[in-house]
Amino acid sequence: WWGFGLFALGSLSASRREISDLIFIDEAVTLTPMLLFMVATWWSIYPLELRIREALLMRELNDASGAPVHPPLSRWQYVSSNVRHQAMLFLAPLSLMTAWQETMVMQLGPWLRDTMPASSVWLAPLVEYAGIIGVLVTCPAIIRRIWDTVEIGPGPLRDQMRAMCRQYGVRVRGPLLWRTHGSMVNGAILGVFWPLRYMLLSDALLERLNSEQVEAVMAHEVAHVRRRHLVWLAVCVVSSVLLLAAVMAGVIEGLNVTSVSPDVLSVIMGLLGIAGAGTVFGAVSRRFEWQADAFAVQHLTRTRSADAQKGSGAVTAASVQVMASALQSVADLNGIDPERFTWRHGSVRERQRRLATLIDRPVNALPIDRQVRIIKVAAIVGIVVSLMPMLMAMLNLNGASL
């Protein structure tokens, strides 16, 4: 209903009519009902979460490892944690980008156009895009504060994590302890660019997993940075959208469609673009997860095998077992069914099966690495092919003008 009110009934325009077009204030008013709905949902399901947490307490008390036992979160703590970790993850960057764009449109942009010469008309959009990029780059520093993180002090854990990052040329801040009151078993590297890139280890991860499993989880996260998965994921999605748009334009031109209005065609192309981009995003993202799992196995093998350190040797069963058990522990402790499929990560069971196929393979020549290389080459080729008609048209125009 909120989406219907926003897109069909014009709730944002109504807010602007009532309170005027203030920078981000009208957007915040429009967004408030959805945020309140999310808060009300978390508030209402808290009794169910509490019953589950209380049921798990007996298992934790009987755990022979002696791991710390956290008290159940209060209702307010539960709602606050969800707001910080879920809502603010997208609200913080979205709010800052919206505020920056409105500042450019309403204040900074007109000032630049009035004070700069006509030949510098390109400066305003350049400043706007630079501001958006600045928001995306600096948001990890804001999110790490919202998520309640603190620096891990000197000790073997910090030394081990920093040594791993140095080994693979990955620069991060931290590692940071991600305090979740024992409610989340997770590790992450937050941010794209140094020095605003942080390594996070949740409290439950450190309490419930052994040192080898923690090392495997963080090697997986280091792999995403080392292999530049986020950048290549964006390249693959852009390539798929451009290719699909070029194909659709060719089909429309070839069929000489005139009975359908341009607006309907735009909607159809937009929906097909979303479907195509979503399909590529999921397929590529899952393969990047498989490569990150394989990277963790490679790391464990190299650090424990003299042959692997020299560039030879094979993946060991022990390394695969550590990574597979880490995935199982994370799934069990987070209450995730290992067979459950997710669009971005696939299922834990599928990832474990793929890990098992790596045993005794050459540590420096794994199939998933070749597969990812093919994906990257295909993405670049797709962008070049989709842009060829536009480049040819530009060359023809230049030739005609000469």
Q: What pLDDT is stored for residue 102 in this prediction?
A: 80
Q: What pLDDT is stored for residue 97 in this prediction?
A: 86
Q: What pLDDT is stored for residue 14 in this prediction?
A: 84
Q: What pLDDT is stored for residue 19 in this prediction?
A: 80
Dist. CA 187–CA 223, nearest whole Å: 13
Q: Which residues pair with 189 in a beta bridge?
A: 199
**Taking the chain, what is the end-to-end CA distance rounded to the nearest angstrom?**
57
Residues contacting 70, CB < 8 A, separation 6+: 181, 182, 183, 204
Q: Which residues pair with 89 in a beta bridge?
A: none
CB 47 within 8 A of CB 29: no
pTM for this model (two decimals)? 0.83
Q: Three-class SS string for 68-133?
A: CCCCCCCHHHHHHHHHHHHHHHHHHHHHHHHHHHHHHHHHHHHHHHHHCCHHHCCHHHHHHHHHHH
Which of 180, 141, 142, 173 lies closest to 158 in space, CA to CA?
A: 173
Q: What pLDDT is stored for residue 284 in this prediction?
A: 95
With 0-12 / 13-18 / 19 or more C-beta atoms within 10 angstroms meaning exposed / middle / buried, residue 220 is buried
For strand 198-202 and strand 173-178, is the pairing parallel, antiparallel, or unpaired? parallel
Dist. CA 301–CA 320, nearest whole Å: 9
Q: What pLDDT is stored for residue 400 in this prediction?
A: 52
CB 149 within 8 A of CB 84: no
Q: What pLDDT is stored for residue 219 in this prediction?
A: 95
Q: What pLDDT is stored for residue 328 in this prediction?
A: 94
Residues contacting 79, CB < 8 A, separation 6+: 39, 42, 43, 46
Q: What pLDDT is stored for residue 274 in this prediction?
A: 81
CB 338 within 8 A of CB 328: yes
Which of 311, 317, 322 lies closest to 363 in space, CA to CA?
A: 311
Q: What pLDDT is stored for residue 261 in this prediction?
A: 65
Block means of pLDDT (10 residues each) for the chain, 402 residues, are: 81 80 79 91 94 82 78 91 89 86 74 66 74 86 91 91 93 91 87 89 91 94 94 91 79 63 69 84 95 96 71 85 94 89 94 95 93 95 83 60 51
Question: Helix or strand or coil: residue 287?
Answer: helix
